[in-house]
Structure 1
Amino acid sequence: MQNRIDKVLNEQGKTYKDLVPLTGLSEYGIGKMAQVGDDETFGAWLSIARALDVSPAYLVGWSDEEEEQSSVEKQQHWYESQMGQLKAYADKMVEPLKNIKIPAPTPTHGVKVTLDDGQIIYDSREMDDMDAYSLAGDWVYLNDCKIAKSHIVSIEKVEEG
């Protein structure tokens, strides 16, 4: 089994000299590893593999996979796959619910005030109490909103149905 240091260097257009600053190994040491293959420590193989962006197993000749995923990368891939499946399932389950329209409850007492822009405001006060809540004659408070009387189109009594 032959290591792939020279092959990868050739593919990437690099030399032993290019690896020296990236690995901390001497040019002679890298050349010797490329020729003999087993005279250096595992750390030296890791340094060269990182510098060439290939897996140590590929560089040594143990694997044909240039990139080897770490256990963290494998877990991340599994997690992303699971989350993708979960999201697809949730989207499938939620989609039919998006078209359901739930009407707002209609009060059974108080007043219904229609404004000039078509907005309807319900207020729990009785019709007889409305005059008592005006402010300076031009404003009415409805559900904590200050409404100009000039915008009110109609005020109707809400009766149980």
Structure 2
Amino acid sequence: MVWGVEDDAHEIVGTRFDHHTVKVSNQSLEPWLASRLKPVPSFNFFYTEIDGLPVAVLRISAAVLNAVAFDNIAYVRLGSHLKKLHDHPAEESRLYKQLDGTPFEYKSALVGLTESDALNLLDVPSYYRLQNMSVQTEFDVILDHFLNDRLIISTSDGACAITNLGALL
């Protein structure tokens, strides 16, 4: 959020805003904001001058695993409009895909496999060459290496999946 910039024309107009003096319900602005945001992101106020006019900026860190809600309502900006996130399921889906904490490398590329099928689809000799190790031939040893390095993963249904990292191999 920026104070001191005109909304429509985006011209610097200056501001007298000072978060230290603002009270909401007899509470200072920072603890009031923190009590309304869930989960509470880190946020900071910054002050500067542009063309000799004072400008204030509230910087709120990006969401990590969940959308940040204000008074238990998550919002999304669509163009210049602020909308309730739950009213826009496509945007909500896109957001949660971005917030998924699983790195791309460890997401499943191919699921529903047996351990044997997964290993047969992967380039076992190249794995050992890249690891500067001699090629192993025992199934359980190879499986253990590939599971430990998350090239394949066990899924909740008892099957096996090749991760994107394994697919890249």
TM-score (norm 1): 0.19
Q: Judging by fraction of residues, say which structure has more strand.
A: 2
Q: Judging by fraction of residues, say which structure has more helix.
A: 1
- Computing the radius of gyration over CA atoms, which structure comes out larger, 1 or 2? 1
TM-score (norm 2): 0.19
